[in-house]
Amino acid sequence: MKKTIIGIAVVAIIAVIIVVAVMFLGKKEDKPNIQTGVKIQTVEDMQKTLNDINTKLQDKLPSLEVREVDITDEMSVTAMTGLKSKTNVEAVVASEPFMSSQAFSAVMVKVSDNANIEEMKQEMLNNIDVRKWICVSAEKVWVTNYGNVIFLVMSSEEWGKPVYDEFKAAVGGTVGKELERTEPI
């Protein structure tokens, strides 16, 4: 009887050790927190993301204003995004300089779930007016998406590329197809 109790106790101890070992082996190693992305579903989320990027890069960028674009105004949507129609556009938030003589614009466009994001990104890349400012023009345009939010930035390499890279970092690098266009000098 004593041998049976000892045998059961040994089996129970081994089972506990195995369970504990599996728990520790299955647990992810504590690493520095690599950002896995942000929630971008509302205008407020879009504004926060752009404000965070602007704050992080404030030493490299001009003074910027983040604002919601009125999507009922099709001309404003087209001017800010390059999209010829506001169909499938749910929200637009833009980050642009207080002084309009600086060629910089970052735009986030939330689109409906049934939108063809790749077609919309290509349309934005092809149609955005890099010369929309009176005396300056953007040298380069970058476009990508994070889920159903399209991100476009146009400016010089010096200003635009860090903003584009910071957007990708903010969403944990989980972006869609990346597009870019360089303007002839």
**58-97 confidence digits (pLDDT tens):** 888 888 999 999 999 999 999 999 999 999 999 999 999 9
Q: Report pLDDT for 33.
A: 31
Q: Which of 58, 65, 125 has its CA nearest to residue 97?
A: 65
Q: Please tell me whether the overall predicted TM-score, pTM, comes out greater than 0.85 for this model.
A: no
Residue 11, both tokens: 């089996």
Rounded mean pLDDT of the chain? 85
Per-residue pLDDT at 173 exceeds 90 = no
Q: Report pLDDT for 28.
A: 39
Asked if residue 138 lies in contact with residue 129, where contact means CB atoms within 8 angstroms, the answer is no
Residue 132, both tokens: 């929309």
| Beta-carbon count within 10 A of 120 CB | 23
Asked if residue 92 lies in contact with residue 80, where contact means CB atoms within 8 angstroms, the answer is yes
